[in-house]
Amino acid sequence: MFNRRNKLSFGSKISGILWPAAGFRRAGRYLLHRLSRLPGTPYALAGGFACGAAASFTPFVGFHFILAALIAWVTRANILASAIGTAVGNPWTLPFIWMWIHSLGNWMGVSSSGINVTELNFPQLFGQLTEALLNGNFSSVIDIAGPVLWPMFVGGIPSAIMVWILFYFPLRKIVESYQRGRIERRRCKETPPLGDI
């Protein structure tokens, strides 16, 4: 009943993830609308989204949903909103996020064994990590990942805190305004015109 009339090919689905058919602006407005319509207080919704955005600034790719949900649960924010917030870490932004947190970790004094962030080949690095994990060679995992992940982890902590703050305060005002407007619109519908009384 709710299926598409013309099914999308696999390539179309992948390109839709990388470049939304409706455009990034409309996709962003949809996310904001979706967030505002979730049940919860402005703190819970804005805090949840901010938790998801903050989790995206950690090097734990593949665990962002879990990490965001855990942070949201600890801070009593909305867990579903935290899942929406992880959209901040997407194929367009993750390379820049990784370079930023790695550079910040190096600047904070965490050595990356002479690795230049501009020369890092993340797909190759993750390929080597996956191969080492599949072979059960955990000492290779530490040797491959340690010099890169440790500075990213250290640089990710202050970045995540700043991102949480940058997203939370504007979103809280937007959600408060949206919820106030919904209450007013509902009140206007429930109040009959003076001529009908």
Q: What is the CA radius of gyration of the chain?
A: 21
Q: 150-175, pLDDT tens digit by residue?
A: 888 899 999 999 999 999 999 899 88
CA distances from 119 to 50, 67, 96, 99, 182 (A): 31, 28, 13, 10, 50
Q: To 10 degrees, what angle do helices 138-190 and 42-55 make?
A: 160
Helix H or strand E segment including 155: helix 138-190
- pLDDT tens for each residue of 25-82: 666 666 666 666 667 788 988 999 999 999 999 988 888 999 999 999 999 999 988 9
Answer for the pair 82, 48: CB distance below 8 angstroms, yes or no. Answer: yes
In this predicted structure, what is the pLDDT of residue 119?
64
Question: pTM value?
Answer: 0.68
**Residue ranges covered by each domain of the chain:** 40-180
Query: How distant, in Å, are the alpha carbons of 102, 112, 121, 123 from that of 115?
Result: 10, 6, 11, 16
Percentage of the chain lying above the pLDDT 90 cut: 21
pLDDT of residue 117: 55
Q: According to the model, what pLDDT value does residue 27 have?
A: 62
Distance (Å, rounded) from C-alpha 46 to C-alpha 54?
A: 12
- Check if the beta carbon of residue 17 is closer than 8 Å to that of residue 27: no
